[in-house]
Structure 1
Amino acid sequence: MKKFEERLERLEELGETIRRTDIPLDEALSAFEEGIKLARALEKELEKVESRIEILMNNTDAPVEESPELELFETE
């Protein structure tokens, strides 16, 4: 299986292909179908990673003073 980043790059390429106006409709549709499948797979993988991060962050075995600083990940 390809790395996440490689599959994300492929998804971006497919998006560019779909936006082109000089390709046949069947080629655009094929790229769209591949893109949808790829996007769903990437989303599932991100959900798994997010779950793992939540588990790690909620680990009550770690002393409070050893909790990681997550300022970079805070959302506004």
Structure 2
Amino acid sequence: MTNEKTFDEAIKELEMIVQKLEQGDVPLEEALDQFQEGIKLSRHCKRIVEDAEKTVTKMVNENGSEEILEE
């Protein structure tokens, strides 16, 4: 399942999907399935990065260091 993958695992799988799709010799149905899996993986990676940013912001704020501004 996608949510159990580490960031590195998800990125590697996403890169493999992109390479496969860029080759252009994938049947349409498989390309759509791969595209959907790529979307799931990219969302999973985004959540991991957002969680890491929140953790870093909280740690910095708790230590009284410079405050990290959110966009």
TM range (shorter): 0.7 to 0.9
Tell me the residue number matched to 1:58.
61
Alignment: residue pair count: 62
Tell me the residue number matched to 2:50.
47
Q: Which runs of 5 or more residues in structure 1 are unaligned? A: 68-76
Q: CA deviation at 1:19?
A: 1.1
Normalised TM-score (structure 2) = 0.77
Q: Which of the pair is proportionally richer in helix?
A: 2
- C-alpha root-mean-square deviation of aligned residues, in Å? 1.4
Higher radius of gyration, 1 or 2? 1
Question: After superposition, what is the alpha-carbon deviation per residue over 1:42-70, rounded to whole angstroms, capped at 9, x for unaligned?
Answer: 1011100100000011114x5xxxx6xxx
Moved over 2 A (4+): none
Q: Which runs of 5 or more residues in structure 2 are unaligned? A: 66-71
Identity within the alignment, %: 35
Normalised TM-score (structure 1) = 0.73
